[in-house]
């Protein structure tokens, strides 16, 4: 465990907890894309199957449980909670996320490390995580203004993946056998997707103006 990875996990944890806190406290999910939250729940459900078969560490298991619990809670709040669901912007959150799931499934069947069910689902989750933020970014573009908690959520998610890239570089140089091309390329694509959001996020933060994303 290196500092980049720990910082990455903590940032990732913060992103989901910030979002869950927002939704729970102000009983609103305005600006939040349910599609992205459902995709993340699917990412965790297909990636953390090994929680029952391989024990890596207490930290690993606890974090997986927290991510599973928080992502499914967020989906439940937006779908089922009688107050929160009213603030869900169904008309604007129209990204057809099945168009993301199917290509990731096919790609996992084509490019993977081992042809086992667990490994295929794990690879699927890696590809899906890379594109899961798209419905949220599209929603932010449409709603123009974004309130700072949603902005923070996307920012923290981008920061977590950037820290993971530093972690992979660190591990590549310290553990020779550590080579995971699939994870590295998908992680890089994911971080690049955030790049333009980052640009506008820093611009607005620097000029101390409300974040405006260009249409």
Binding segment for other proteins (CB under 8 A), chosen from 48-56, 98-106, 150-158, 192-200, is 48-56
Rounded CA-CA distance 187/15 in Å is: 17
CA-based nearest residue to 159, from 14, 3, 25:
14
Quickly tell me which residue has 């506008």 as its tokens.
200
Q: Is 167 in the site for other proteins (CB under 8 A)?
A: yes
Among the listed residues 122, 124, 127, 153, the single contact to other proteins using CB under 8 A: 122
CA distances from 50 to 2, 92, 177 (A): 22, 36, 22
**CB of 50 or CB of 147, closer to other proteins:** 50
Q: Is 56 in the site for other proteins (CB under 8 A)?
A: yes
State the minimum distance, in angstroms, from the CB of residue 76 to other proteins: 22
Q: Which residue, 54 or 196, is less far from other proteins as judged by CB? A: 54
Query: How many residues belong to the site for other proteins (CB under 8 A)?
Result: 19
Shortest Cβ distance from residue 201 to other proteins (Å)?
24
Instruction: Specify whether the CB–CB gap between 200 and 151 falls below 8 A.
Output: no
9 binds other proteins (CB under 8 A): yes
Nearest-angstrom CA–CA distance, 131 and 97: 9
Distance of CA 76 to the CA centre of its chain: 17
Asked if 77 and 29 count as a contact pair (C-beta separation under 8 A), the reply is yes
Q: Of these, 79, 81, 85, 180, which contacts other proteins (CB under 8 A)?
A: 180
3-class DSSP state for residue 194? helix
**Interface residues toward other proteins, by CB under 8 A:** 5, 9, 12, 50, 54, 56, 60, 63-64, 67, 113-114, 122, 164, 167, 177-178, 180, 183
């Amino acid at each position: 465990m290196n500092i980049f990875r720990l910082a990455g996990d903590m940032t990732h944890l913060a992103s989901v907890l910030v979002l869950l806190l927002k939704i729970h406290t102000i009983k609103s999910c305005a600006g939040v894309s349910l599609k992205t939250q459902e995709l993340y729940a699917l990412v965790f459900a297909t990636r953390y199957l090994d929680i029952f078969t391989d024990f890596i560490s207490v930290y690993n298991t606890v974090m997986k449980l927290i991510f599973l619990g928080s992502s499914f809670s967020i989906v439940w709040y937006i779908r089922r909670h009688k107050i929160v669901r009213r603030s869900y912007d169904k008309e604007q959150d129209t990204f057809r996320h099945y168009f993301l799931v199917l290509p990731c499934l096919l790609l996992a069947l084509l490019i993977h490390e081992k042809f086992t069910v667990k490994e295929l689902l794990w690879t699927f989750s890696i590809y899906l995580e890379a594109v899961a933020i798209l419905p949220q970014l599209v929603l932010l573009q449409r709603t123009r203004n974004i309130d700072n908690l949603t902005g923070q959520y996307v920012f923290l998610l981008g920061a977590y993946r950037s820290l993971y890239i530093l972690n992979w570089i660190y591990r590549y140089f310290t553990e020779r056998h550590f080579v995971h091309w699939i994870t590295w390329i998908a992680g890089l694509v994911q971080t690049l997707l955030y790049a333009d959001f980052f640009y506008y996020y820093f611009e607005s933060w620097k000029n101390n103006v409300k974040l405006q994303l260009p249409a």
